Amino acid sequence: MTQTPGPDPSDRSRLLTPSDVRALAERFGIRPTKTLGQNFVIDHGTVRRIVRASGVTGEDVVVEVGPGLGSLTLALLPHVRRVTAVEIDPVLAEALPGTVADHAPDLADRLTVVHGDAMRVTGVPGPAPTALVANLPYNVSVPVLLHLLELLPTLERVLVMVQSEVADRITAAPGGRVYGVPSAKIAWYASARRAGAVGRNVFWPAPNVDSGLVELVRRPAPGTTAAREDVFGVVDAAFAQRRKTLRAALSGWAGSPAAAETALRAAGIDPRTRGESLGIEGFAAIAEHAPETFSPGSRSRRGRRADA
C-alpha cells in the first residue's frame, strides 16, 4: 500500500489545513468564483509534490500566479530564495502577507505580493525570476504561460497545475489529435512534458474536471530570421481551419491560395500538408517566406487567435 509522505523536516512553515482554508475564506469574505478560476488546494501532499516536481532550490526566485489563500506559497517558501506572488483578487493579495506571517513568520521576508493580472503585468519586482510554479486558473492558463515566458526570459523552469485537457494540449507532439496552437507556441520557448495527474478532491471547491502537472524547460527559440509575432501569426492561421490543407488554411494570411502555395514550397513544405503535422520550426520556415506585399508584423494579426 502506498503511504502518504510525511512532513518534510526542512519545512519551516505550517501548511494550511482544509479547515484553515475554509476559515480564511470566511474571514476575508471570499466566495470562490468560476470567473477567476478559484479552486483552492487543501491537500498537503499535493503542494509538497508540486514543490518536489518543480526542482526548485534555495537559489531560485519563483513567480507564483494565483496564490489564492497561500497553500502552495507556504510550501514553496522554505525551499527557495524568494517567491513573487501575482494575485488578481485585491482581497487575496492584501491578505496573503498576513497569512504567511502567521504560519511562517521567519520566512515572511521572502515573499513579495503583486496585485495584478498575470496576463497584463509588464514586469515583476526584485531579483530576476528563475522559475514559475503555480496552480494556474484554468480559464487563462495558456495565455498566462505564453505572456510570462515572453516577458521573463530568465525563467528556466516551469511547473504548473492546469486542467488535464489543457495539459494534453500543451504537451502534445506534432501529428497528435490534440496538437494545436498551445502546443506549437509553447514549443517556441520550451520543451514540455506531463509531470503527473491530480484528482479533484485536493481542491476546495472541487472542480468538475481533473488536473495535470506540466513541466516546461526553457530552450533556445528556433533559429529563424522571422519575428516571433510573425511565426505565431502563421500558427494562428494554420489552426483556424485545421481540417484544411495549409494551402487553403493560409490563403487569407498570404493573400491567396496561390501565394500561400508559393510560400510553402519556398519553405520546403508540401502545400497539401495540414498544420497539425508541423513543428514550430516548420511554421518559422513558412514565416520566413511570407509574401513581400505585407509589412513586417502585419501577418501576425491575420487569422483567428486560438491560444486556449
Residue 261 has pLDDT above 50, yes or no: yes
Average pLDDT (74-78) is 97
Q: How far apart are the first and last CA of the chain?
A: 39
Least confidently predicted of 26-30, 96-100, 115-119, 120-124? 26-30
Q: What is the pLDDT of residues 102-133, one digit of tens each?
A: 999 999 999 999 999 999 999 999 999 999 99
Q: Which of the pair, 299 or 19, is modelled with greater confidence?
A: 19
Residue 274 makes CB contacts below 8 A (sequence gap 6+) with 242, 243, 244, 245, 246, 249
What pLDDT sits at residue 104? Answer: 96
Cβ-contact 120, 144 below 8 angstroms? no
What pLDDT sits at residue 26? Answer: 92
Residue 91 has pLDDT above 90, yes or no: yes
Q: Which of the pair, 259 or 308, is modelled with greater confidence?
A: 259
In this prediction the pTM is 0.88
Residue 42's Cα: distance from chain center in Å?
21
Gyration radius (Cα) of the chain, Å: 21
Q: What is the pLDDT of residues 198-248, one digit of tens each?
A: 999 999 888 888 999 999 999 999 999 999 999 999 999 999 988 899 999
Residue 176 has pLDDT above 90, yes or no: no
